[in-house]
């Protein structure tokens, strides 16, 4: 049995948003989502099961993890230990090459890499769907980062509490880019789980969102398969802003936007008026991510860099699946 493994996973950005859970315990999504896995950004996670450890030792970006982060990592490791029939604790070291926990999908690539490295290190010969289901239990968007290219995470369950993401089209299906306008390097104030649970409890628009989201997903999916960028961008912007509208109507409101977010949204509209195909999506953080044709990425990045408050841009291109390798103990 191998005891040490290292995995690399990429973040993904949803164009049809997941926002809302059937219930917190199973972490099954209430709505279907569709994302693009990106290259250009990655999380690398090494997991070493070590009988000498009294407890899991978790390091994130070179520093000991907070108690809350370490608990989420141990919850995933506990599932792996239960499946492998072992009680051995693990040393986990995870590094992101992009801002952590600020709505830049670090939990997606983080839990995808952790699920893959931990199952391999524990000697479990699981297929990608099973690893995706494991990652989903920690962060639903992480289920999608197991796969490359365009990926669907359906709503509900496929088996008894089982739900895995499914690859829809490979990375080379379409030459598009997602230009991330980085607004802050710091952590967001309200995490996605807290944000969606608060919306479910208090937003009068939550039920409307859950009812409307499947049609938005269907529109995004059809536009993607038809390689119709204007239809995809329009549908993706609608999904993202409807998700934020749901949380803005919560009591009190969850506001992920900062002034730079609105300035960036305005810039995207200006680009469209100037004839550049550019559409925005926003997750549980202040960054605006701009969908455009691959050939327009440099021009879009330049325009977004000029927006006051944008620190820098990252040009995300369609990226590959998460990968894992065994390491010598």
Q: Measured from the CB atom, is 48 or 321 closer to ligand PMV?
A: 321
- The residue written with tokens 């202040």 in the block is 286
Query: Any contact of residue 190 with ligand PMV (CB under 6 A)?
Result: no
Contacts of 252 (CB under 8 A, 6+ apart): none
301 preceded by a cis bond (ω within 30 of 0): no
The correct pick among 42, 45, 141, 261 for binding ligand PMV (CB under 6 A) is 141
User: Residue 238, interface with ligand PMV (CB under 6 A)?
Assistant: no
* Residue 139 binds to ligand PMV (criterion: CB under 6 A): yes
Distance of CA 17 to the CA centre of its chain: 10
For ligand PMV, what does the binding mask look like between residues 266 and 285, x meaning CB under 6 A? -----------------xx-
17 binds ligand PMV (CB under 6 A): yes
What is the H or E stretch that residue 113 is in? helix 106-121
Write down the least CB distance from residue 106 to ligand PMV, Å: 9
In the complex, the smallest distance separating the C-beta of residue 249 from ligand PMV, rounded to whole angstroms, is 16
Number of residues that bind ligand PMV (CB under 6 A): 14
| 140 φ/ψ sector (left φ>0, alpha ψ -120 to 50, else beta) | alpha
Element (H, E) at 79: helix 67-84
Q: Classify strands 323-326 and 4-9 as parallel, antiparallel or unpaired.
A: antiparallel
| 3 state DSSP class of 60 | strand
In the shown chain, the binding pattern of residues 108 to 127 toward ligand PMV, with x for contact by CB under 6 A and - for none, equals: x-------------------
Near ligand PMV by CB under 6 A: residue from 11, 33, 217, 268? 33
* C-alpha span between 271 and 275 (Å, rounded): 6
What is the spatial distance between Cα 181 and Cα 76, in angstroms, rounded to a whole number? 31
Closest CB to ligand PMV among 184 and 193?
Answer: 193
To ligand PMV, the closest distance from the beta carbon of 247 in angstroms equals 9
**DSSP per residue, 210-222:** HHHHHHHHHHHHH
Q: Does 261 bind ligand PMV (CB under 6 A)?
A: no
Tokens 């479910």 identify what position?
200
**Binding span for ligand PMV by CB under 6 A among 12-20, 159-167, 245-253, 319-327:** 12-20
Among 18, 147, 150, 279, binds ligand PMV (CB under 6 A): 18
Binding site for ligand PMV (CB under 6 A): 14, 17-19, 33, 107-108, 139-141, 192-193, 283-284
């Amino acid at each position: 049995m191998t005891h040490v493994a290292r995995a690399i996973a990429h973040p993904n950005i949803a164009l049809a948003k997941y926002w809302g859970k059937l219930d917190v315990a199973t972490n099954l999504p209430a709505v279907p989502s569709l994302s693009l896995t990106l290259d250009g950004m990655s999380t690398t996670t090494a997991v070493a099961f070590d009988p000498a450890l009294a407890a899991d030792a978790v390091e994130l970006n070179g520093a000991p993890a907070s108690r809350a982060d370490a608990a989420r990592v141990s919850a995933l490791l506990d599932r792996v230990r239960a499946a492998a029939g072992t009680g051995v604790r693990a040393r986990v070291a995870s590094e992101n090459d992009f801002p952590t926990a600020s709505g830049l999908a670090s939990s997606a690539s983080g839990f995808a890499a952790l699920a893959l490295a931990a199952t391999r290190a524990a000697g479990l010969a699981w297929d990608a769907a099973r690893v995706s289901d494991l990652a989903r239990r920690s962060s639903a968007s992480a289920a999608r980062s197991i796969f490359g290219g365009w990926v669907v995470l359906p709503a509900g369950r496929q088996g008894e509490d089982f739900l895995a993401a499914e690859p829809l089209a490979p990375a080379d299906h379409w030459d598009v880019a997602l230009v991330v306008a980085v607004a802050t390097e710091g952590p967001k104030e309200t995490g996605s789980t807290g944000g969606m649970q608060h919306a479910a409890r208090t937003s009068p628009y939550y039920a409307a969102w859950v009812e409307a989201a499947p049609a938005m997903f269907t529109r995004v999916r059809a536009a993607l398969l038809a390689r119709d960028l204007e239809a995809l961008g329009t549908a993706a912007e609608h999904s993202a802003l409807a998700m934020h509208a749901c949380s803005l109507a919560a009591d009190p409101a969850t506001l992920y936007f900062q002034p730079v977010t609105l300035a960036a949204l305005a810039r995207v509209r200006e680009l469209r008026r100037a004839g550049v195909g550019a559409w925005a999506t926003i997750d549980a953080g202040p960054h605006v991510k701009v969908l455009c044709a691959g050939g327009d990425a440099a021009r879009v990045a330049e325009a977004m860099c000029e927006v006051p408050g944008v620190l820098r841009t990252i040009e995300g291109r369609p990226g590959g699946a998460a990968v894992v390798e065994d390491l010598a103990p």
